Amino acid sequence: MKKRKFGLALSMVLAAGTILGACGSDDNESSDGSSGGGDDAASNDFTVSMVTDTGGVDDKSFNQSAWEGLQAFGEEYDLEEGTNGYNYFQSNNDADYVTNFNTAARSEFDLVFGIGFLLTEAIGQVAAQQTDTNFAIVDDVAEGDNVASITFKEHEGSFLVGVVAGLTTESNKIGFIGGVESDLINKFAAGFQAGVEAVNPDAQIDIQFSGDFNNASRGQQMAAAMYGSGTDVIYHAAGGTGNGVFTEAKNLKQQDPDRQVWVIGVDRDQAEEGALTANGEEYNVTLTSMVKRVDIAVQDISKRAMDGDFPGGEVIEYGIEEGGISIAETQDNLTQEILDEVENYKQQILDGEIEVPSTR
């Protein structure tokens, strides 16, 4: 497969306006609705959909970011939510992947996204059969002239939040909780570890995997053990499982508002997940988040497909340079000194002075 890099269509993103919030559904297919506004020059008969992994469209992380991107695209180009515009298909278990891709193709969506590397095998299987439909896999590479592969330099963003963690920790004990152990999630862990060690070589980093992207109770259990051992900062790359990390951190903060206990979010700005009230005072345990702009990638590829420029058979990679990776805009818990160091290391990455490892 030919590999190329493409910059982001930032002008398109800026035109999209405010990204709408996501809504959950217990059905395999979302209910139809409507969306106003848009661009009269758009092709009104273009349709696009996405298939979630088992974390669901409202996982407050990866799937939700992708759905927000589709919503913004639909709003910009005056597409209706539903089978005649843009839609999502929720997967409740692994067996739903092939079924949902086939349903989307038979519903004649022009472009169908698979959200997450767990869907790679299913999207390859269906794409080989449904050759009149274009597909895009997020976070992995799949074969096929009608399949675009969207990847990110997660290790770069993870390095930056590692810098934040290394400069913030008071105990010098830092944790990482990943979902399913894989080459992808190890990219997060590798970059994070390198970032911590760059600014705090004395810090101990505990790297663990939950084996699941949709098990909040397991995430809370793992976080409780880490915080109980003296860890004061945990970075999660675990999708819905990471919600349990926030739950545990907030519980501990409510019990002892003076305790330093932090979570670093992933994929989108997760500041909202860390908000709590203790003894009448407002706190937030979200230190920062490693933002992977899945929403921008979804909008970018959707626009290209609508314009007849679908990059089938190619790998499109988004990193810091392309604007697809960053730390969160919410920075209330970061000092100016930490922000300056993050900017310093970001520039070194852009200048090629630092090559962030993508493997542990």
| Res 61: pLDDT | 83
Please tell me the least confidently modeled range out of 53-57, 65-69, 115-119, 299-303.
53-57
Q: Examine the pLDDT at 2 and tell me if it is beyond 90.
A: no
The answer to whether residues 124 and 59 touch, using CB atoms and an 8 Å cutoff, is: no
The answer to whether residues 230 and 202 touch, using CB atoms and an 8 Å cutoff, is: no
| Res 108: pLDDT | 97
Query: Parallel, antiparallel, or unpaired: how do β-strands 281-284 and 275-278 relate?
Result: antiparallel
Stretch 140-153: mean pLDDT: 97
Fold exhibited by the domain 2-152+293-318: Rossmann fold (3.40.50)
Average pLDDT, the chain: 90
Q: Looking at this protein, which amino acid is placed at residue 162?
A: G
313-358 pLDDT per residue, tens: 999 999 999 899 999 999 999 999 999 999 999 999 999 999 999 9
Closest CA to 191 of 163, 171, 225, 210: 163
Stretch 121-141: mean pLDDT: 97
Q: Looking at this protein, which amino acid is placed at residue 156?
A: E
| Res 27: pLDDT | 42
62 CB contacts (<8 Å, ≥6 apart)? 53, 55, 115, 116, 239, 266, 267, 292, 294
Confidence of residue 4 (pLDDT cuts 50, 70, 90): very low
CA dist 241 and 232 (Å) reads 19
Stretch 6-30: mean pLDDT: 39
Stretch 49-62: mean pLDDT: 90
Fold exhibited by the domain 154-291+330-350: Rossmann fold (3.40.50)
| Res 44: pLDDT | 67
Q: Where along the chain do its domains lie?
A: 2-152+293-318, 154-291+330-350
| Res 62: pLDDT | 86
In terms of pLDDT, which residue wins out, 50 or 10? 50
The answer to whether residues 62 and 180 touch, using CB atoms and an 8 Å cutoff, is: no
| Res 145: pLDDT | 97
Q: Looking at this protein, which amino acid is placed at residue 90?
A: Q
| Res 43: pLDDT | 52
Confidence of residue 65 (pLDDT cuts 50, 70, 90): very high
19-45 pLDDT per residue, tens: 333 333 344 444 333 333 344 444 569
116 CB contacts (<8 Å, ≥6 apart)? 52, 53, 55, 62, 63, 138, 139, 140, 213
**321 torsion bin: left (phi>0), alpha (psi -120 to 50), beta (else):** alpha
228-283 pLDDT per residue, tens: 999 999 999 999 999 999 999 999 999 999 999 999 999 999 999 999 999 999 99
| Res 134: pLDDT | 98
Does 2-152+293-318 match 154-291+330-350 in CATH topology? yes
CA dist 269 and 286 (Å) reads 9
Q: Where are the beta strands (DSSP E) in 204-328?
A: 204-209, 233-237, 262-267, 275-278, 281-284, 286-292, 314-318, 325-327
CA dist 237 and 234 (Å) reads 10
Q: Which H/E stretch holds residue 350?
A: helix 336-350
| Res 308: pLDDT | 97
What radius of gyration do the chain's Cα atoms show? 20
